[in-house]
Amino acid sequence: MEAGIRPIPNQMMGFPDEDFDSLKDNIRAWNRLGLNVKPFFATPYPGTEWYYTNKQRILEQYDGDLEAFLMDLGDATRVTAVISKKFNAVELYGLRELMVLRDIGRIERYEKEWTRLHAADPPPKPAPRLVLETTK
């Protein structure tokens, strides 16, 4: 930026463990760095770890039709299969627009409503713990 070149970075959203705090942290980083960003959606392309890890969930979204999923894949500018554990496709679109507007206040209001609506949902299973053993 000192050289007068304004970067236009690419950033993805919709990761499996993404939450409201990470979205707001991204906006704060953009503000601090003076960046203009319109995130792409995390897309589980076949052959990637996201695809293999989430294959069952992906196929459920396409009624088990792998061909339909493959034909729906695009360039990550729109949602195909959702791999987010927290947000659905509609929520991802809305949250992306609020991020582009840098509207942390509306994201926080939506977070309160989202939390109220999902209060009865069971908490996600904790990730397995990695135990490292050392030898003495």
- Greater model confidence, 78 or 116: 116
- The span from the CA of 59 to the CA of 85, in Å, is 15
How confident is the model over 58-90, as pLDDT tens digits?
Answer: 999 999 999 999 999 987 788 899 999 999 999
Q: What percent of the chain has pLDDT over 70?
A: 87
Of 92, 90, 94, nearest in space to 103 by CA: 94
pLDDT at position 4, please?
A: 81
Burial of 126 (0-12, 13-18, 19+ CB in 10 A): exposed
Please give the structure tokens belonging to residue 55.
Answer: 């294959």
6 pLDDT band (50/70/90 cuts)?
A: confident
* Measured torsion, CA atoms of residues 100, 106, 112, 118, in degrees rounded to the nearest 10: -50
125 pLDDT band (50/70/90 cuts)?
A: low
Q: What is the pTM of this model?
A: 0.80
Kind plus residue range of the DSSP H or E element containing 41: strand 40-41
- The span from the CA of 132 to the CA of 136, in Å, is 13
